[in-house]
Amino acid sequence: MMFKQNTTAFSGRSRAGLGDRLLLLFSLLSSTALCSAASNLESNSPFLPHGYSKAKPTPPPKPAPQPMINGPLAKELEFRGVVQLQGTYQFSLFSKKDNRSYWIAENTSEEGINVGNFDREAMHITVTRNGRSEQLTLLSATDKPLPVVRTRPTTAKAPKTPNIPGLKSSTNKKPASSRSVPRRRVILPKKSGP
């Protein structure tokens, strides 16, 4: 009898162990299938452009632009804009000294400012003024908002009453909320007649 009990107990354990092993094997196979499907998902996606998952070649590094040293002319003038009208370029220059803006066509001069040699790639022009020649680069726009100028509220100061000797000032004023409202009277018109 003892032998039968031991064999049934052993067979029960082996069945439970076999179920655990099958469950473990099934989970390993399903996780492997999911991982392989995830790697194919990017390559088989209809929404990504053809060749998206391929390694992209890195572009060669661009040479650093040569720093432009601002001379005395760049401190007086700003190159703010360029426009091409009917095949000729016109440039917007702002004079900080005169606080005035000029639109000057290429290879012309206005009020002593001569503009020429526009380089479209680098967006700079050669400006000559008072015998000095210098290259100006187009100003770039910034995302920063302009500073807001706020005025401080001025507090109205009450005029001081002159201090007169012998005059008593009434400092015990009642607040406006406790002020009494005068009573209204209704006056009926007189009846005229017999």
Output DSSP code: residue 47.
S
**Are residues 77 and 95 in contact, defined by beta-carbon separation less than 8 angstroms?**
yes
Query: What pLDDT, on the 0 to 100 scale, is given for residue 27?
Result: 81
Query: What pLDDT, on the 0 to 100 scale, is given for residue 189?
Result: 87
Query: What pLDDT, on the 0 to 100 scale, is given for residue 8?
Result: 47
User: What's the average pLDDT block by block, 10 residues per block, for the chain (194 residues)?
Assistant: 48 64 79 65 76 72 57 87 91 91 91 89 88 87 81 72 69 63 84 71
The domain limits of the chain are 7-36, 72-137
**Are residues 106 and 92 in contact, defined by beta-carbon separation less than 8 angstroms?**
no
What residues does 59 pair with on adjacent strands? none
In the chain, the N- to C-terminal Cα span, in Å, equals 139
Give CB contacts under 8 A, 24+ apart, made by 112-115.
113/77, 115/91
Query: What pLDDT, on the 0 to 100 scale, is given for residue 67?
Result: 44
Give the right CATH number for 72-137 from 3.40.50, 2.30.30, 1.10.3470, 3.90.1530.
Answer: 2.30.30
Query: What pLDDT, on the 0 to 100 scale, is given for residue 58?
Result: 76
Please indicate, yes or no, whether the overall pTM of this predicted structure exceeds 0.75: no
